[in-house]
């Protein structure tokens, strides 16, 4: 019997055992923003790498939140780096179940899902490890060597990924490509493949009376003093007005767009296909848009213009503003001593985050805002994958085996630390190709589908397709 088919059967017959391990990992809290359960989660991740039979497996002490390294040497001709993260977003409100109880229940239209914070990242990655265990049970070994970088800081900026890459460069420099295991279907069963991500520069601006030399210092004063005391919040408004023009939706920072790459013929072909497929329903195509939340796009754009803007234009987005009293009513009459604004920039290739940060600094100084401070919260580079790269072709062959025609995008508008693997190691990175669906990691009642509905895969299909990716890449360009 074909080893791929045998592996599929092994996965099917070990469903309960595999689900148990998914639930075990999801039940371990790992909220990085609160440093909740991170050490215990790292130890549990380490245990899984040891159980797999990794030649090397160790916790990486970063001086902050730990990460985990694992190296499985199969003695194979090809090697894949594997990026994952085991931290989660904060829990938030609105849950109907305990977010760390890994409750298995129904969620229309699915008969069985597992609820919990981390269902997407943690549940998806343990599904990948389950698939590896099944391959080993059938074949005695894995078809490729694997180098795991499992971080615990994705939700707080992935600050230590460059350090981790340098620490294990002697191994990682031998990798042929990088993968990010996970579920790739949406709630309807559609499959999307993104050929890369934008980079991200996330900053916090601060204007305070202490640094400005005007306005209150050391704390707020009563609002009635505003007739004689300068207000840092109004100064922050002027700062923001200097940075961005909402009428043209253009960044006003000098040199911001220098080096921006245009779409090539291959990219334009993909964009035109997207426009044709989603004509009249573009709002359903743009990732991360909640249904019904957006009725009008910038400049009223639709079709290829909209998709081109999404894939190839940078952003300067205000995440939030805070200053003084922000509660209801007028309980406190304040003239704040400081104002803060967090801004994230999504940056296509050739717009480097740290370079953009320097340009913003120069812009502020030039326009008289040298007292306004910039704190970098995140700076991750972009990464791009060609549809002709061997790892991309290996992923596309999996979809072909499953009789699925994916929607291929030139890149995703979101960002992630995978760009470091491209920038520092020159690796091509393939995102999720697993036949399954997980709800968003920011909402309440996050879940991973355990039993699919015929269109969306469940845990079995997710693991089977993950195993297929390794078989496909190991055999490429030959059939698998």
Across all residues in the chain, what is the average pLDDT? 95
pLDDT confidence of 331, banded at 50, 70, 90? low
Residue 304 inside a domain? The answer is no
* pLDDT value of residue 333: 84
Q: Give CA–CA dist 198/212, Å, rounded.
A: 34
Q: Are residues 18 and 125 in the same domain?
A: yes
Q: Are residues 62 and 186 in the same domain?
A: yes
* pLDDT value of residue 357: 98
Q: What letter would DSSP give residue 288?
A: T
Q: Are residues 237 and 109 in the same domain?
A: no
Phi and psi angles of residue 367, each rounded to the nearest 5 degrees, phi first: -95, 15
Q: Among 353, 380, 407, give the residue marking a domain's end.
A: 380
Percent of the chain past pLDDT 90, that is, above it, reads 90
Question: What number of H helices and E strands is found in the chain?
Answer: 14, 21
* pLDDT value of residue 421: 96
Q: Are residues 23 and 113 in the same domain?
A: yes
Q: Give CA–CA dist 447/387, Å, rounded.
A: 31
pLDDT tens per residue, range 365-409: 999 999 999 999 999 999 999 999 999 999 999 999 999 999 999
Q: Are residues 136 and 249 in the same domain?
A: no
Q: Are residues 336 and 405 in the same domain?
A: no
Range of 448's domain? 3-197+382-475
Residue 374's DSSP bridge partners are: 205
Residue 276 inside a domain? The answer is no
pLDDT confidence of 128, banded at 50, 70, 90? very high
Q: Among 333, 361, 380, give the residue marking a domain's end.
A: 380
Residue 343 inside a domain? The answer is yes
* pLDDT value of residue 397: 97
pLDDT confidence of 290, banded at 50, 70, 90? low
Q: Are residues 351 and 426 in the same domain?
A: no
State the CATH number of the domain containing residue 155.
3.40.630.10
Q: Are residues 204 and 193 in the same domain?
A: no
* pLDDT value of residue 329: 66
Q: Are residues 42 and 180 in the same domain?
A: yes
Asked if omega into 80 is within 30° of 0 (cis), the reply is no
Q: Which two tokens stand for residue 431?
A: 């995102």
Residue 295 inside a domain? The answer is no
Residue 294 inside a domain? The answer is no
Q: Give CA–CA dist 239/367, Å, rounded.
A: 9
Asked if omega into 40 is within 30° of 0 (cis), the reply is no
CB 380 within 8 A of CB 416: yes
348-387 burial, b if ≥16 CB within 10 A, otherwise e?
Answer: bbebbbebbbebbbebbeebebebbbeeebbbbbbbbbeb
Residue 286 inside a domain? The answer is no
Q: Give CA–CA dist 462/443, Å, rounded.
A: 22
Which three-class secondary structure state does DSSP give residue 17?
helix
Residue 302 inside a domain? The answer is no
* pLDDT value of residue 260: 94
Write the CB contacts of 36 (distance below 8 Å, at least 6 apart in sequence).
Answer: 29, 30
Phi and psi angles of residue 363, each rounded to the nearest 5 degrees, phi first: -60, -45
Q: Among 335, 355, 380, give the residue marking a domain's end.
A: 380
CB 48 within 8 A of CB 120: no
pLDDT confidence of 319, banded at 50, 70, 90? very high
CB 359 within 8 A of CB 253: yes
Residue 307 inside a domain? The answer is no
pLDDT tens per residue, range 92-125: 999 999 999 999 999 999 999 999 999 999 999 9
The structural domain count of the chain equals 2
Q: Give CA–CA dist 131/181, Å, rounded.
A: 11
- Determine the length of the chain: 480
Strand pairing class (145-151; 67-72): antiparallel
Token pair 């360009």 is at which residue? 477
pLDDT tens per residue, range 206-240: 999 999 999 999 999 999 999 999 999 999 999 99
Q: Are residues 180 and 31 in the same domain?
A: yes
pLDDT confidence of 328, banded at 50, 70, 90? confident
State the CATH number of the domain containing residue 227.
3.30.70.360
Question: Which candidate, 385, 64, 65, places its Cα nearest to that of 195?
Answer: 385
Q: Are residues 366 and 221 in the same domain?
A: yes
pLDDT confidence of 157, banded at 50, 70, 90? confident
Q: Are residues 208 and 163 in the same domain?
A: no
Write the CB contacts of 316 (distance below 8 Å, at least 6 apart in sequence).
Answer: 243, 244, 251, 343, 345
């Amino acid at each position: 019997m074909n080893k791929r088919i045998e592996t599929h059967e092994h996965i099917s017959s070990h469903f309960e055992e595999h689900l148990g391990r998914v639930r075990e990992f999801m039940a371990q809290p790992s909220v990085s923003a609160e440093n909740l359960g991170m050490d215990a989660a790292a130890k549990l991740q380490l245990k899984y790498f040891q159980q797999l039979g990794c030649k090397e497996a160790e916790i990486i002490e970063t001086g902050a939140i730990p990460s985990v390294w694992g190296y499985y040497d199969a003695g194979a001709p090809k090697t894949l780096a594997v990026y994952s993260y085991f931290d989660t977003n904060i829990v938030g409100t609105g849950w109907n179940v305990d977010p760390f109880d890994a409750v298995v229940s129904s969620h229309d239209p699915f008969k069985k899902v597992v609820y919990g914070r981390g269902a997407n990242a943690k549940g998806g990655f343990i599904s990948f490890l389950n698939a590896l265990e099944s391959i080993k049970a059938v074949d005695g070994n894995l078809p490729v060597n694997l180098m795991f970088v499992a971080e615990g800081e994705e939700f707080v900026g992935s600050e230590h990924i460059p350090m981790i890459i340098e620490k294990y460069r002697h191994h990682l420099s031998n990798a042929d490509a990088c993968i990010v295991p996970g579920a790739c279907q949406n709630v309807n069963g559609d499959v999307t493949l993104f050929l890369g991500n934008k980079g991200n520069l996330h900053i916090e601006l601060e204007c305070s009376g202490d640094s400005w030399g005007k306005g209150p210092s050391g704390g707020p004063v009563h609002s009635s003093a505003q007739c004689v005391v300068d207000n840092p919040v109004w100064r922050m408004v002027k700062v923001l007005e200097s940075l961005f023009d909402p009428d043209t939706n253009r960044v006003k920072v000098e040199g911001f767009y220098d080096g921006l790459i245009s779409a090539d013929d291959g990219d334009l072909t993909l964009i035109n296909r997207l426009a044709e497929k989603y004509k009249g329903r573009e709002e359903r195509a743009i990732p991360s848009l909640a249904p019904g939340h957006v009725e009008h796009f910038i400049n009223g754009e639709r079709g290829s213009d909209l998709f081109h803007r999404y894939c190839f234009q940078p952003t300067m987005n205000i995440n939030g503003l805070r200053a003084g009293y922000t509660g209801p009513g007028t309980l406190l009459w304040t003239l704040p001593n400081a104002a803060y604004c967090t801004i994230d920039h999504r940056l296509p290739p050739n717009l480097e985050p740290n370079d953009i940060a320097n340009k913003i600094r120069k812009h502020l100084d030039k326009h008289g805002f040298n007292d306004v401070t910039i704190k970098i919260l995140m700076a991750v580079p972009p990464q791009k994958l060609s549809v002709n790269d061997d790892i991309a072709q290996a992923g596309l062959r999996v979809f072909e085996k499953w009789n699925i025609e994916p929607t291929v995008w030139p890149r995703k508008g979101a960002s992630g630390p995978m760009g470091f693997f491209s920038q520092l190691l020159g690796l091509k990175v393939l995102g999720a190709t697993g036949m399954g669906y997980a709800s968003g990691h920011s909402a309440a009642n996050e879940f991973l589908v355990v039993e699919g509905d015929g269109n969306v895969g469940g845990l079995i299909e997710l693991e089977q397709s993950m195993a297929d990716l390794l078989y496909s890449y190991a055999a490429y360009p030959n059939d698998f």
